[in-house]
Chains A and B, each alone.
Chain A
Amino acid sequence: MPELRCPICGGPVRVDDDALPGELVEHDCGAVLEVYQDGEGRLSLRPFEGVQEDWGE
C-alpha cells in the first residue's frame, strides 16, 4: 500500500497492506486517524471523530 498523508500534520503514515475502511491508526503526531475509502475507491485517512453517544457493545 502506498504511504498515506496525515491530514493533521501532513507527515507520512504507513498503513498495513491489509488495512480496511474503518480501521484506526495512531500517528506519531498524536492524531488518531480513520482509514476510509474516498470517492474514487482509494484508501485515505481522516481524523477520527471519537466515540459517539450511541457507541457500545
Chain B
Amino acid sequence: MTVVALLYDVARLDEKMLIKELRERARLHLIHVPSSVLEMGRGPGVDAALERCVSHYNAVSSAAAAESWGARTVNTAESIALSADKAVTQALLHRAGIPTPRTMLAYSVESAVRAARDLGLPVVLKPLMGSWGRLAALAGDEEAVRAVSEHREYLGGPYRVHYIQEYVRKPGRDIRAMCIGGEAPAAIYRVSSHWITNTARGGRAEPARVDGELEDLVVRSCEAVGVEVGGVDVVEDPERGYLVLEVNAVPEFKNIVRVTGVNVPGLIAEYLVSRVRR
C-alpha cells in the first residue's frame, strides 16, 4: 500500500478532512512538524508527502526534508517558496502572460508616493509576504501612502520593499479558486462590503461558477509558479475582466467545501496518491 506523509503544524478542520481522505487511500504517516526532528536524506519511508504547514518557514523546510527522502512532495519546497513572495509570483505570472493588477515596487517613502501618483489613487500597499490580508493597506491619498510606507520602513527588513498596486474596482467580491493537478474543480466568491474580502476577515463565501476562461487562468497561474495544489485569488475588473492576485501553495479550503459541496480534500488525496501510482 502507498505510504503518504501529512506534514502539518496547526491541525485545522482542513487538515482533519485531509487526514480522513488520505487514510481511505493510503497508509498515513502524520508528522507534526513543530515536535519532530527531520533528518535530511533519511526519512520514515514514505512514497509521497502533502505539505500543510501554515508557518511559511516550517512549510518550505519540511517540504525540502520530504524531498530529500525521495518522497513525491506536493507542493514542492521550491513552489512554496516562490509563491509566498508576491514580487516573484508577479514575475512568473507576467512571463506566462497572465493578467494581473498593475503593480510597482518602490524602495523609499518618496518613491512610494511617486509610484502611487503614477498608478492613480487609491492604491493598495501590501507586504511582500503574508496572508489573510494582514498588513494590507488601502491608501486614498498621498498622505496615507506616506504614512503607511513610513511605518513599513520603520518595521524594517522585508517591509522596506514597498509593493504598491492599483486598486481594482471589483464588484464587492473577489474569487478564490481551487486548482488540483491542472483542473479547477471549485471556486467561491468572497463577498464583503470591506475591500478585504478574505473569509478569515469576515467575508461571506458563496459558490462561484468556474467558466472556461477562469479555469484556464487559474490552471495557468498554478503552472507558472509550479504549484500542483493551489488556491488562486482573482479579482474582476469592470473593463479588463479577470486579474490574478496571487497563488497560495498551502490553501485553506473548508469554506469552499462548505458552500460548494465539492470534496476538495478527497480530490487532493486522490491526486497525491495518483502521483505515486504512476
Q: Which residues of A contact B (CB under 8 A)?
A: 20-24, 35-37, 51-57
Extra pairs beyond A52-B55, A56-B248 (8, CB < 8 Å): A20-B15, A23-B10, A51-B134, A54-B56, A54-B129, A55-B131, A56-B54, A57-B251
What's the dominant secondary structure at chain A's contact region? loop
Query: What bracket does the count of chain B residues touching chain A fall in?
Result: 20 to 34
Task: Give the total number of A-B pairs whose CB atoms are below 8 A apart.
Answer: 57
**CB < 8 Å neighbour of B11 from A23, A51, A54, A56:** A23
Instruction: Tell me if B32 and A21 are in contact (CB < 8 A).
Output: yes
The answer on a CB contact under 8 Å between A56 and B32 is no
24 contacts between A and B (CB under 8 A): A20-B16, A20-B32, A21-B32, A21-B34, A22-B8, A22-B10, A22-B15, A22-B32, A35-B11, A36-B34, A37-B32, A52-B55, A53-B130, A54-B55, A54-B56, A55-B54, A56-B130, A56-B131, A56-B132, A56-B134, A56-B248, A57-B132, A57-B248, A57-B252
Find chain B residues with CB under 8 A from A55 CB: 54-56, 131
Beyond A22-B8, A23-B11, A24-B10, whether A57 also contacts B32 by CB under 8 A is no
- Give residues in B with beta carbon < 8 Å to A: 8-12, 15-16, 19, 30, 32, 34-35, 54-57, 84, 129-132, 134, 231, 248-252
The 3 closest A-B pairs by CB, nearest first: A56-B131, A57-B248, A21-B32
Q: Which residues of B contact A36 (CB under 8 A)?
A: 34-35
